[in-house]
Amino acid sequence: MGRCINCNRESPTISEPLSVCLRCIREHFEDIHPRILKVHIESREAFNLPTQPPRKEGHRSCDLCVNRCQIEEGNVGYCGVRRGKGGDIIGGGPEEGTLDWYYDSLPTNCVADWVCPGGSGSGHPDFSYSSGPEYGYKNLAVFYKACTFNCLFCQNWHYRQSTYARRFITSSQLASKVDSRTACICYFGGDPTPQVRHAIRTSEYALRDNPDRPLRICWETNGSVSRPYLNKMAELSLKSGGCVKFDLKTFDEKLNLALCGIANKRTLDNFASLSSLIKERPEPPLLVASTLLVPGYIDEEEVGKIAQFIASLSPDIPYALLGFHPHFYMSDLPTTSRSHAEACKDIAEKRGLKNVRIGNLHLLRQD
């Protein structure tokens, strides 16, 4: 049971480590901002990560993401993999993958499984081996151990324990893991953004070495990547039949700052930019959105705003609402209730979206 330090309200859907409620985030952000900063600082100091994107006048800015870190000699950027050396910024290069990889049998628990070729047969025969789910094939899942956000509800926060482990795998080594039964590669994490150059080169090698057959390139991202790299990601997915899955965590910038530590304007702008490519390949869908239904913080109002934004770009963009499991600094919250998930689905459809799905059904609790 958490209590808001601003309004003194007590509720099981107020995270005790954060100690602020959704209403106060929306209406009294400046008053509670010091508390929000304190929690994010603590959550990063625990893993020796910079507490804010570094800014040092006279130093080069990293060009990979929205944070534009200016990194001093011997220090690291907000993501933990970019670092200053010899007046330059190194790390996260095309041949330096700090990651875990594994095979995941298709169909798999992908955010887009109900619309992607691996789970639905969409795009067959050009982009899929089957007119239905691709049984007998597999996904090369690539988990990058770095991120440009600091989500207090992170579902994969354990990667932070090995962010600094310099056991690299090169792009050619990773591309060689694609065998004859590999139908797709999915980059996620963390987030692929800090190591996007590695993912792009891996994809280029893999597609070069596996011509004339389906091999989809897919991404799961918070959307903070710089536009030139986003365009390259989209190009690889567009021609291969893959999709770019944006985690639209919030619509309200203040809420994004509270929950994720970083503003979301770049995310929304990048999502809008990619929506212009939908007409080039309507099927399988290039662009997919998802939102994690964090109890007490991602309510129907927030989902409605996200859905309205998506629908304004195209009502056909698939949207997944994901059940939440307690983790990291929000481990004291309950799982998402079925009634809340269904209410969010209803409001998203009322805002104009035609293809809304509730994911992670096994996590939903009965009211």
333 and 191 belong to one structural domain: yes
Quote the pLDDT of residue 151.
Answer: 98
Quote the pLDDT of residue 86.
Answer: 85
Does residue 283 lie in a domain region? yes
Quote the pLDDT of residue 353.
Answer: 98
Q: Two tokens at 107?
A: 């169909």
Q: Which domain holds residue 82?
A: 53-88
Cis omega (within 30 of 0) for bond into 107: yes
168, 96 contact by CB (below 8 A): yes
Domain with 199 in it: what CATH number? 3.20.20.70
Q: Two tokens at 265?
A: 């304007």
One-letter amino acid of 237: S
* pLDDT bracket for residue 163 (50, 70, 90): low
Quote the pLDDT of residue 311.
Answer: 98
Q: Between 105 and 167, whose confidence is greater?
A: 105
Asked if pLDDT for residue 364 goes beyond 70, the answer is yes
157 and 284 belong to one structural domain: yes
The percentage of the chain sitting over the pLDDT mark of 70, rounded to a whole number, equals: 98
245 and 320 belong to one structural domain: yes
Query: What does the pLDDT average to over 93-116?
Result: 93
259 and 309 belong to one structural domain: yes
pLDDT per residue as tens digits for the range 263-311: 999 999 999 999 999 999 999 999 999 999 999 999 999 999 999 999 9
210 and 315 belong to one structural domain: yes
**The dihedral of CA 227, 315, 141, 361: what is its sign?**
positive
Quote the pLDDT of residue 164.
Answer: 55
237 and 137 belong to one structural domain: yes
133 and 159 belong to one structural domain: yes
Contacts of 307 (CB under 8 A, 6+ apart): 319, 347, 348, 349, 351, 352, 353, 356
351 and 290 belong to one structural domain: yes
Quote the pLDDT of residue 306.
Answer: 98
Quote the pLDDT of residue 166.
Answer: 57
pLDDT per residue as tens digits for the range 214-240: 999 999 999 999 999 999 999 999 999
42 and 57 belong to one structural domain: no
142 and 5 belong to one structural domain: no
Quote the pLDDT of residue 363.
Answer: 83
Asked if pLDDT for residue 58 goes beyond 80, the answer is no
Quote the pLDDT of residue 63.
Answer: 94
- What mean pLDDT, rounded, does the chain reach? 95
Asked if pLDDT for residue 88 goes beyond 80, the answer is yes
Strand, coil or helix: 11: strand
Does residue 93 lie in a domain region? no
83 and 144 belong to one structural domain: no
Instruction: Please give the tally of structural domains in the chain.
Output: 3
Quote the pLDDT of residue 357.
Answer: 97
Q: Between 97 and 1, whose confidence is greater?
A: 97
* Residue 75: CB atoms within 10 Å: 16
**The dihedral of CA 35, 40, 46, 49: what is its sign?**
negative
Q: pTM of the prediction?
A: 0.95
Quote the pLDDT of residue 174.
Answer: 97
Quote the pLDDT of residue 87.
Answer: 83
Query: What does the pLDDT average to over 114-134?
Result: 95
